């Protein structure tokens, strides 16, 4: 049971480049989330999904797009990277229970120069 | 958004009990209170959750007063390895986009 995995672990982009971050979970969870964490700050929700084929905006969605074509995968896309998107990105998943217990991946450290 | 307020930092010594309080004045009827722990360069890890009164597991206790406008995470006999950032999160799963983590409490345990 790998839990939540994220690919890649590190990435450096130039301004204007695009990339996709992949999140995969093997726990059959319905809900998945993408967060970003800037140095010394808490996590901010970018987008989330409550099921296959559905996505919704979180607190800071601008500049990002997501897709949930398969239940186990949640993709985060940056179409035109900006230095302000330099951050650590965490993916999480949770079962469809009333509580808010989320399982997090190890993170992707992205630097945009 | 279900907003929470926590102290920015706390210091403690090994072997002491640590209590971290989170204020959540606008908690909704359906909201659960969940606490996470985060070590540097790692994703947050679930510690404990509750709805009302007291919850205890092998790691911590969570105290929630009757009005549910605050909660206290209690860590018994902390060790150096408990040095981490602790986050309080208020919400419930079917309202997934309505909760925020806030900036958390940095706990430093000293020898």
pLDDT digits (tens, 9 = 90+) for B80-100: 999 999 999 888 665 666 667
Mean pLDDT of chain A: 93
Q: Does A24 touch chain B (CB under 8 A)?
A: no
- CA B31/CA A109 separation, integer angstroms: 32
Share of chain B above pLDDT 90, in %: 74
pLDDT digits (tens, 9 = 90+) for B9-31: 999 999 999 999 999 998 888 88
pLDDT digits (tens, 9 = 90+) for B71-81: 999 999 999 99
Strand duo B105-110 + B9-13: pairing: parallel
What percent helix, strand, coil does chain B show, rounded to 5? Answer: 10, 50, 40
Tokens of A35: 């967060």
Share of chain A above pLDDT 70, in %: 97
pLDDT digits (tens, 9 = 90+) for A20-73: 999 999 999 999 999 999 988 889 999 999 899 999 999 899 999 999 999 999
All residues of chain A having their beta carbon less than 8 Å from the beta carbon of residue B103 are: 40-42
Share of chain A above pLDDT 90, in %: 83
Nearest CA in chain A to B87: A42
pLDDT at B2: 66
Query: For residue A40, which of B85, B95, B52 has the smallest C-alpha distance?
Result: B85
All residues of chain B having their beta carbon less than 8 Å from the beta carbon of residue A90 are: 43-44
């Amino acid at each position: 049971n790998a839990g939540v995995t994220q690919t890649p672990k590190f990435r450096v982009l130039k301004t204007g480049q695009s990339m996709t971050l992949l999140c995969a979970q093997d726990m059959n969870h319905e809900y998945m989330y993408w967060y970003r964490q800037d140095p010394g700050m808490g996590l901010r929700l970018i987008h989330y999904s409550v099921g296959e084929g559905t996505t919704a905006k979180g607190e800071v969605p601008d500049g990002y797009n997501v897709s949930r074509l398969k239940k186990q995968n949640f993709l985060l896309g940056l179409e035109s990277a900006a230095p302000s998107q330099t951050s650590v990105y965490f993916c999480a998943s949770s079962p469809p229970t009333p509580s808010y217990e989320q399982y997090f991946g190890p993170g992707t450290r992205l630097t945009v120069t | 958004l279900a907003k929470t307020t926590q102290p920015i930092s706390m210091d403690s010594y090994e072997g002491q009990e640590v209590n971290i309080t989170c204020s959540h004045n606008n908690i909704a009827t359906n909201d659960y209170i969940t606490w996470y722990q985060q070590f540097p360069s790692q994703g947050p890890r679930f510690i404990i959750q509750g709805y009302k009164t007291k919850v205890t597991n092998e790691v911590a206790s969570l105290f929630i007063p009757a009005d549910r406008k605050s909660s206290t995470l209690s860590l018994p006999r902390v060790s150096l390895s408990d040095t981490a950032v602790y986050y309080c999160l208020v919400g419930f799963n079917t309202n997934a986009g309505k909760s925020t983590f806030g900036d958390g409490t940095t706990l430093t345990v000293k020898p």
